[in-house]
Structures are given as structure tokens and as C-alpha cells.
Amino acid sequence: MGANKLFKIVVGLCVLLTNGCAKEPEESSSTSDSRYLYVASGVCYSGNNTTFSNTTSSNLIYRLSLETGAVDSTIADYFSSPSNTGDSPASIVDGDSNYLYALIENTTTTSLRRIEKIEKRSNGARSIFSNNTTALSAQLRHLLKLSNGDFAVSKSTGVEYLTSGNVRLGAPYINATAAPCNTSTTLIPKVLTLSNGKFVFLHAAAAQNRFGIFATTGGTTCSAAQAAPNANAFPTAAFYDSTNAKLFVAYAGNAVTTDLNSIYMYSIDESTNAISGATKIYDASLYPGTYSYLLYGVSEMVYDAATSSVYIATATTTATTVVNYAIEKFTYDPTQIGVDATKILVRSGTTPFFEYGSDTKCISKMFIGN
């Protein structure tokens, strides 16, 4: 039998038995050893600066290579099917190696507010995890996945709790808090947890701009609170370094004056709830003299403990009507705590990690995941 004829028979058997001996490359998808910066460019909060709405935001979910800052894949586009008019990804959170969850705000048709479960791949499959109209009854701000697999959802009027089985607990879980926190809950841009599970929430209403600590059981009892450094500075983003018990909070205001657009670091005693050692590590009023980079109207921060990196989403100018956003990358050096506050966060490079474009209006949420 000729060699050419034998080759054709082998190839034919491959097609019949295995649907081909070789497969075409699949679309980009997560693997156990790949890590990305996941980004939601939906409706966001940047203090009392005017930013993009649910219909003028980019309304995308995508992921960036941590090595190059380049877009690896676009996971969801909320201007395309199966989305609805007015859909905007207000927040995203890591689910597992295959899925993420997205908090979808819709001020056009509020009954369409929901949490989606989305496959981590280009144009990933999407399904509804929750469309609980009671829990999602006010403007949606932030989604947090807890260590037990449940979810906390911050909205304008409180913090909701949904179990991994989509059961609502509380009415809502954190609501109408008492002193020393705010006496009303009107704008909660972010919620996070300490390493012992206690909640920290940011509150950004006039005269009650502060962050507070709550027990794991929620309720209305505030354990401790810290007022903003300026009456016109509103907390917009935060991350927690559990190793050193340091909470970093970004504040935003609509002027380039002292403390309005700044980042502060606080020491947290998780046992007593004591908040102390307020230390300013950035102030936009000192740009470009002290700082060669601008952080104004910060909308999001995320900490990558594996590489001691911090990613910060910031407006690109000091215009009170935000023009666009970019993502800056910093190296976090805790050895500078108590030594030189200006060196605790050191900018990586001389240009943004991810430059502004049609896909950065606005940066509502980021997380590090595979």
C-alpha cells in the first residue's frame, strides 16, 4: 500500500473516531495558572463629581493581562443581546475558576435589576442568579462575595444579604444605622469585610460621609466609625491589608483642595473595633509638586496580595464632569508605614497601567482572578 494512501486512511479514521486528531484553538478562557485584572466599566460613583450614567457608561466587562495591561478578552457587552436597554454592570466579583458574578443596575427599568452569573470567557454565557426585587429595590452599588459563598449587596438604602441559594436575610441586613455611624443610609458605594468577617461600609452622604464597622450579624448597631477628613470629601473605594491590619480609603470631591481627593490609611483593631492612626498617603492638591501622577475622583481600588500591587481607577483630569478614567498600578510597601507615607504606594512606571478609551467610562469595579 502506498504511503500517501495509508496517510489518507489514518486521517479518515481520526475524523470518524475522534472528530479530528487536532482541534482548532478555543477562545480565551481561564486556566488555573493564569491571573487577570477583571474590570467592569459601568455606572459608578466618584464623589460629587458628575460621571457617566447607566446609558452613557461603556457597560462592558473585560479582563486585562496582569503582565502587559492589554485586554485579554471582553466577557460581556451590555449594549448587545441578551442585555436590556439601561443595563449597566455596577459591580463584579469572582465566583470560581469558571464563573464571575455581576451586579446589573438599570435605572431605566428598575425591575430589571439583577445579579448575573457569567462564564469567564469571551462573550461568556450568562444566567440570572438573582432578580429579587425586594433585595435589589434601590440603586445598586457594590457586590461582595463572602468567605462562606454568600453575597452582600450595597445599595443606596442599606446592605442586603443573599445566601448562595439566593435567600434574602434581614430587612435589609444593615440598615438605618445609629451613632457613631450615620443615622440614615442614603449612599453606600462600597462594602468589604475584615479578616474576622466583620463588615466595613462606606457612606457618602453630605454631613454623614464616613466609614463604619459592623458585626457579622449586621443589624443597626454600629461598632465604630471614622469621619472623612473633609466635609466635602466622600469615601468612594477601599481595600484592606489583613496582614498589617490597615484599611485604605479613597475620598473624592469636586475640587483640588486639601483632602478632597485623597487616600488615607487607618489602623484597625479587629477585636475592639478601634480605628486609629489616620495617615494620608496621597493628596491630589499636591500634584504635580509632590506627586507626578494624578488620582482624582477615584472610583475603585483593588489589592493584589500575591504581588503587593494595588490598582486604582481614577479620572484622567480634574474636571468636575469626568471626561474619562484610567487604571494606575502601584507597588505597596508596608515597610514604609511609619517611615515615609509618600512611599507606601509607589507608582509602577511613568504611564497608566491601562489608558483611557472607549472602554473606561467609568471603572465601577475590579478584581484579581484567574
Taking only the tens place, the pLDDT of each residue in 176-232 is 677 888 777 889 999 999 999 999 999 998 889 999 999 999 888 899 999 999 999
Q: Supply the pLDDT for residue 16.
A: 37
In this predicted structure, what is the pLDDT of residue 309? 98
Residue 11 has pLDDT above 80, yes or no: no
pTM of the model: 0.90
* Complete domains list, the chain, with CATH: 30-369 (2.120.10.30)
* Predicted confidence band of residue 4 (pLDDT cuts 50, 70, 90): very low
Residue 192's pLDDT is what?
A: 97
pLDDT at 203: 93
Cell of 256: 483640588
What mean pLDDT do residues 355-370 have? 98
Q: What percent of the chain has pLDDT over 70?
A: 91
For residue 185, count other CB atoms closer than 10 A to its CB.
Answer: 24
The tens digit of pLDDT for each residue in 290-329 reads 999 999 999 999 999 999 999 999 999 999 999 999 999 9
- Best CA proximity match to 211, nearest among 180, 241, 242, 186: 180
pLDDT of residue 29: 47
pLDDT at 33: 65
User: Within a 13 Å sphere around the CA of 292, how many CA atoms are in the beta-carbon half?
Assistant: 10
- From residue 188, give the alpha-carbon distance in Å to each of 105, 123, 130, 142: 14, 30, 20, 8
Amino acid letter, residue 294: L
pLDDT band at residue 22 under the 50/70/90 scheme: very low
Query: What does the alpha-carbon distance between residue 144 and residue 45 come to, in Å, rounded to a whole number?
Result: 17
| Mean pLDDT, all residues of the chain | 91
Report pLDDT digits (tens) over 256-297: 999 999 999 999 999 999 999 999 999 999 999 999 999 999
Contacts of 333 (CB under 8 A, 6+ apart): 308, 343, 344, 345, 346
What pLDDT was estimated at residue 219?
86
pLDDT reported for residue 186? 84
Q: pLDDT tens for residues 95-147? A: 999 999 999 999 999 999 999 999 999 999 999 999 999 999 999 999 999 99
| Mean predicted confidence (pLDDT) in 11-38 | 50
What would you report as the CA-atom Rg of the chain, rounded to the nearest whole angstrom? 22
pLDDT reading at 30 higher than 60:
no
